[in-house]
Chains A and B, each alone.
Chain A
Amino acid sequence: MASRPLEVGRRASPPRPAAGRRGPWQRFVRNPRAIAGAAIMASFLLVALAGPRLAPFPPAAPHVLAILHPPGRPFWLGTDNLGRDILSRVIVASRVSLAIGVLSMLVSIVAGVLVGALAGYFGGAADSVLMRVTDVVLAIPVFFLTVAFLALFGPGVGRLIWIIGLTAWPPTARLVRVEIMALRARDFVTAARATGAPNSRIIVRHLLPNVVPVIVISATLRVGLAILTEAGLSFLGLGVQPPQPSWGNIIADGREYLGVAWWVSFFPGLCVFLAVMAFNLVGDGLRDAFDPRLQI
């Protein structure tokens, strides 16, 4: 038992409890927190898709007679120091913030699944080299490197997606590796190998489909983290650049006017908070539905 590598990273050993008559999907739907998260997530995605069409004003239009207007008609979330409508800016910004969150998640999931699957399937030297690289990336104070990269190369949405994605893959790689290691000794893999299937086919057709829940859970939680990172970088002035509004840079705009106009920073921050919380709720709900003992 102790020599089997498959228990690494999991809680103590008994086999997974029988799922009962309900499948994971029913368990997810009956979890009120997960449903609340999914509802908030869906509304944010819809707003991001509708984008400018939903905004009451053009996001850059200066209403010079209503500078630092407090929340109220017709500026429901107030205006900033240039008289720009915060609600419109927050709505328009949701698109870029969510896009960076989702796309950098894709980068990190692809990298993490690739590294984890190769390390877990082949084991041995490949495993130790890949895991050593993973440890190095985990040990690097990633934010220092990210800040240095964006400052040196100049900020940009594409660069943000790559740097956030390429620094966030190690946890996914570790999870996938453990799952693959547990699966590769199973009979169906031996059977596939006996029929002469090449390694690539075994990994893609036989192993990865079994790891999909773990990948989806990990991916959902990654989006939340990526949105937080993007907002922090944009706040520092290293992320999305004005005049394009993003939640982080609107918060930074309001920083100087904190004492006189709290609403400029408050509402975009609330959006970051709610969006990240929605992705976390859905991720936690998926985990509880598929495999509550998974350590993510």
Chain B
Amino acid sequence: MARYLARRLLALVPLIFGITAITFALLVLAPGDPVLFLVPPEQRGIADLAQFRHELGLDRPLPVQYISMMAGLFTGRLRSFSDRRPTTRQVAEALPTTLILTATSLALTGALAAPIAFVSAVRPYSMVDHAATLFALLGISLPTFWFALVLIFVFTEQLGLLPASGIRPVGASGYSPGLIWRFLIMPTVVQALGILPVLVRYGRSSLLEALSQDYVQVARSKGLAERAVLLRHVARNSLLPVVTIAALLLPFLLSGSVIVESIFALPGLGRLAVNAALSRDYPTVLTTTTVAGVLVVVSNLLADLGYFYLDPRIRYQ
């Protein structure tokens, strides 16, 4: 197990290198000079610009820039171009909001997907199953940002029930756990709707596969109540693939957070990334992309480890 874990952690290195190298290449190849974005036109003396470029380290060879950027990223010395704060601090402020939203979305999705998948697998081609299929189709075709605007129109503009923006960052003044839930309802519903069809579909096919296994026949023929067959034999065995899917959904949720956080003005990682990209804040762009990549990779690892605890038959070499 320790060896397996070590190997998996080691495999993260090329992946993280790949993600950061691609991002760095984008930054280098991008047309336009970031310095011109940072210095107001009236201060653009040639000497000033050269001085500023030197301070930012943009006059050094590219490999040196890359290595110093990466070293700075991991030690927290890399500073944002725009507000000169360490990018790690910006991420530390933004990440909790995104993680809370991700957690609430996954929880809501799981709570809805489990019963829907269960009913449509146990009673295939029933009304519930057909309704679930139709709903899944609507769900994957719905543009989430448009759905978010529809929600804002109904619940904020018309009914005045829920706030569309105004949440405080975690830990900032005015932040209180008791106050944030009202801000999170609509973003959570939007994010959950995006991934619900995927989870229901996989849950259903996984349950159907478990239902066709021999041990289910055995359990039934020895006279076990159907309820016990379903809960103890079918549900437990079909949980496994669904756990991986939940981890694979994280990239979807992170991608969704870019748009959802922009619409609902949530101070999270997605909005930080968009704002950094729009203002050509190279260090922050590099940091947010890297952090998002690491989150995805680590969640995949956690899903595999979750397998290990859920299924004693699996032994990693």
Contact = CB atoms under 8 A, between A and B. Distances in A.
B58 interface: no
B146 A140 contact: no
Of residues B26, B141, B212, which shows the largest number of chain A Cβ atoms within 10 Å of its Cβ? B141
Interface in B77-100: none
Contact of B153 (A147, A228, A262, A280): A262
Interface stretch (B64-72, B228-236, B293-301): B293-301
Contact-size category for A: 35 or more
A141 B254 contact: yes
A141 B255 CA distance: 6
Nearest to B18: A136
A36 to B, nearest CB: 11
Interface stretch (B2-10, B113-121, B273-281): B273-281
B288 interface: yes
Interface residues of B, number: 50
Given A152-B27, A284-B137, A273 B153 contact: no
B174 interface: no
B241 to A, nearest CB: 11
B49 interface: no
Contacts of B30: 152-153
Given A236-B259, A259-B157, A281-B137, A139 B285 contact: no
Of residues B144, B251, B262, which shows the largest number of chain A Cβ atoms within 10 Å of its Cβ? B251
Contact of B277 (A12, A152, A251, A266): A152
Interface string A137-180: 01111111101111111100000000000000000000000000
A12 B213 CA distance: 10
Of residues A148, A228, A265, which shows the largest number of chain B Cβ atoms within 10 Å of its Cβ? A148
Contacts of A255: 149
Contacts of B149: 251, 254-255, 258, 265, 269
Given A140-B19, A277-B138, A145 B209 contact: no
B142 A273 contact: yes
B140 A280 contact: yes
B52 interface: no
A224 interface: yes
Contact of A142 (B29, B255, B278): B255
If over half of A's interface residues share one DSSP class (helix, strand or loop), that class is named, otherwise mixed; here it is: helix
A119 interface: no
Contact of B146 (A139, A147, A259, A273): A273
A250 to B, nearest CB: 11
A141 B289 contact: yes
A139 B258 contact: no
Contacts of B274: 147, 151, 236
B161 interface: no
A144 B255 contact: yes
B36 interface: no
A219 interface: no
A148 B258 CA distance: 11
A235 interface: yes
B230 to A, nearest CB: 20
Contacts of A295: 205
A148 B26 contact: yes
A236 B263 CA distance: 9
A12 B140 contact: no
A141 B292 contact: yes
B293 A143 contact: no
B272 to A, nearest CB: 10
A273 B141 contact: yes
Contacts of A273: 141-143, 146
A45 to B, nearest CB: 17
A131 interface: no
A181 interface: no
B63 interface: no
Of residues A143, A259, A280, which shows the largest number of chain B Cβ atoms within 10 Å of its Cβ? A143
B292 A139 contact: no
A276 interface: yes
A232 B259 contact: yes
A104 to B, nearest CB: 16
A177 B288 CA distance: 33
A138 to B, nearest CB: 8
A11 interface: yes
Contacts of B255: 141-144
A77 interface: no
A272 interface: yes
Contacts of A41: none
A231 interface: yes
A269 B292 CA distance: 28
Contacts of A154: 31
A4 to B, nearest CB: 19
A295 B150 CA distance: 32
Given A136-B15, A235-B145, A272-B146, A152 B296 contact: no
Given A152-B27, A231-B143, A144 B292 contact: yes
Interface in A1-42: 11-12
Nearest to B212: A12
Given A151-B277, A258-B153, A228 B15 contact: no
Please name the 3 residue pairs, one residue from A and one from B, whose CB atoms are nearest each other, closest first: A269-B146, A151-B277, A143-B255
12 contacts: A12-B212, A141-B255, A141-B293, A142-B251, A143-B254, A144-B273, A153-B26, A231-B146, A251-B146, A266-B150, A273-B141, A280-B137
